Amino acid sequence: MLNKFCHIYLLVFILAVIGINFVDAGAYTSVQANKMMAGPSWIAPFGFDALGRNLFLRTLFSAQVSLFLGLVSAVSCLLFGFVFGWTISLLPKIAQNIFLRFLEICLSIPSLLLLLVVSVLWQEKLSGYFSFLPSAWQNILALAVCLSVCGWFSFARFSWRVLAEQKQMPYMQSALVIGATPTQMWWKYIWPNVRIDVMVFFGLQIPHFLLAEGLLSFLGFGIHSPQSSWGLLFFDGWKMITVAPHLIVGPALIFSVTVFCLVYSLYGYQKTQDPILRWQTY
Amino acid sequence: MKNKIHGHLNSKLITILSRLLQLSLSFVILFLFVFILLRQLPADVSQSENGVDSVVTEQIKNRLQLNDQGHLSFAHYLQNIVSGDLGQSYSRPGRSVVGLLFDGSQLTFVMAGISFFISVLVSYGLIVFSRTVMASQRKIMDYILMAVSSVPLFCLAPLLIWYVAAAHDYFPLVFDGTVSSWFLPVFLLSLKPTVSLARHLGERMDAEHFSTSNQWLRSLGFSEFKIVGFFSFLKASSGYFSQMSLVLIHLLSGSFFIENIYGITGLGRLTFESVMHRDWPLLLGLTLWVGACVMLVHFLFDMVALFVTRNKGMEI
């Protein structure tokens, strides 16, 4: 039941986020002095912000940027982290230990601190590298790179762990005995066994990056106006919390429900696809 | 039996020594990591001082010995760390980074420590309660935990503060050190770690729930409360300890956010201010200090887990 709700919510949400491009942009970008900080109504379920813009439509519009950031960062972490983890799983034990210590150190620095350091040091420089793009996208892509730089460690460590576990399995010895080539071992034996775990971990990275972007923008180091993201909406809402608390309630609700549905759907997917978990469920 | 116990102690000693070796190696890599941040990246501190006179940037380079060859510069950097010199703060003239870190650490560590103990106790209580008293509805507890873990702290904190403001006609954003002003920051800080620990412990205990040893204990007449609260917990404790050390990182990250909301002068506030004022020595000192503390805590938890958890070698 809950699983169905999550799937339906995510489907409707994605359609709404795409559909916002077909709505008149004036409703959520233009300033309307007579509606400043007006409360929720049927036209605007989350009310109007400090500049009189429809907050519900603005939340959906901001979701485009936040989801794009989450997705791009997760994909780059998947590519780099998985390749790194896979490579170190093939190295001799001593080399593996050195790389693992390096990953442990990176993971031992609180992610927010690392993200602050990297974004403050690099964001401006990185925006310059994307100067061939429209100015709105330069900052977004620079932030995506910062998020990826701070987030690939956990993916690399996870990939190393699942691959190292598979290498210890008895079926790997059997595959060697029957003369399987390295390519065959990888595609026929290892990949089918790690596929579900890797895909679920990849999916879980998206809410993780959504949270990271939100927190960074909330502290004033992420996306800046006139662009918009969920974190920026929270930041604006926080500044006005004593006067108009509805400015933060609506976006917080959408954000929390989206993250919950995403996480729950992924666990549901893992339970139905993973042979061991499926067996345990029954 | 005597030989087995000796063998067991020897293996523990070897584990401790190898873990100590790993820790020292990790410290060296951490120093190297921060040194690379300081020197090699596009964010070379002297280049990043936009609009600053070239004489000043040259002074910064000389002070940090960035003009030297890499290995000499790193040796100088290590020497400074060993002698407890992380330089002077840019934003607070006359204050050393070490002094600022020491002052900031006190409040952060006290708050993180209190939140940590609350998280451990509450998570244990929640899981034992959900697996014994309300065992038939334990899924509900799991859903609640998952839902709470989905709500980010930066959404929850403003909403709670607003709720308290509306309900009690007082805006709880003043931290004056009194007991009542500690309540909301500590609650917010301990919420996520509690959920994380509870979910982890719940998963581990569920895996043990119908194990052969637990079935034996049930047949011997042990109460479900004792089986879940003691025997299953002992078996799940090794993973629980590693999760505890991971939770400490979340606590530090959370404290950075909470301290900024409440204006508490801890490490989080220092981080925020050092970023705002581009105070590079302080920022890199913070990275080094927090990273080193977390690694030390990981090591201590590993040692506790080594001695507390049951070892099959001792079952003679």
Q: Which of B1-10, B70-79, B270-279 has the lowest mean pLDDT?
A: B1-10
* B287: nearest CB among A104, A109, A257: A109
Instruction: Give the pLDDT confidence of A140-158 residue by residue, as tens digits.
Output: 888 888 888 888 888 898 8
Residue-wise burial string across A226-265, b where 16 or more C-beta atoms lie within 10 A, e elsewhere: ebbbbbbbbbbbbeebeebbbbbbbbbbbbbbbbbbbbbb
Of B143, B256, B260, the CB nearest to A110: B256
User: How many Å lie between the alpha carbon of A148 and the closest alpha carbon of chain B?
Assistant: 16
pTM metric for this prediction: 0.78
Q: Is the pLDDT of residue A232 over 60?
A: yes
CA distance B265 to chain A (A): 16
* Partner-chain contact A111 B253, CB within 8 Å: yes
- For A103, A162, B244, the CA distances from A167, given in Å and listed in that order, are 20, 9, 29
Average of per-residue pLDDT values in chain B: 77
pLDDT at B43: 47
Share of chain A above pLDDT 70, in %: 96
Segment B2-59, tens digit of pLDDT: 566 666 667 778 888 888 887 887 788 788 877 777 665 544 555 555 555 666 667 6
The alpha helices in A51-134, defined as continuous H runs, are 55-90, 93-108, 111-129
**pLDDT average, residue stretch B251-271:** 82
Which of B150, B252, B288 to mutate to test binding with chain A, by most A CBs within 10 Å of its CB?
A: B150
The ipTM estimated for the assembled molecules is 0.71
- Cα B266 to its chain centre, rounded Å, is 15
The count of CB pairs under 8 A between chains A and B is 130
Which residue is listed with tokens 């940590």? B116
Q: Do B146 and A234 touch (CB under 8 A)?
A: no
CA distance B276 to B291: 21
Do the Cβ atoms of B152 and A255 come within 8 Å?
A: yes
Q: Indicate the pLDDT class of residue B314, thresholds 50, 70 and 90.
A: very low
Residue of B nearest to A123 (CA): B43
State whether A219 and B158 contact (CB < 8 Å).
Answer: no
CA-based nearest distance B124→chain A, Å: 23
Range B229-256 average pLDDT: 79
Measured in angstroms, the CA of A112 and the nearest CA of chain B are apart by 6
Cβ contacts (< 8 Å) between B22 and chain A: which residues? Answer: 97, 101
- Nearest-CA distance from B37 to chain A in Å? 9
Interface contact flag, B253 A263, Cβ < 8 Å: no
Of B42, B143, B165, the CB nearest to A122: B42
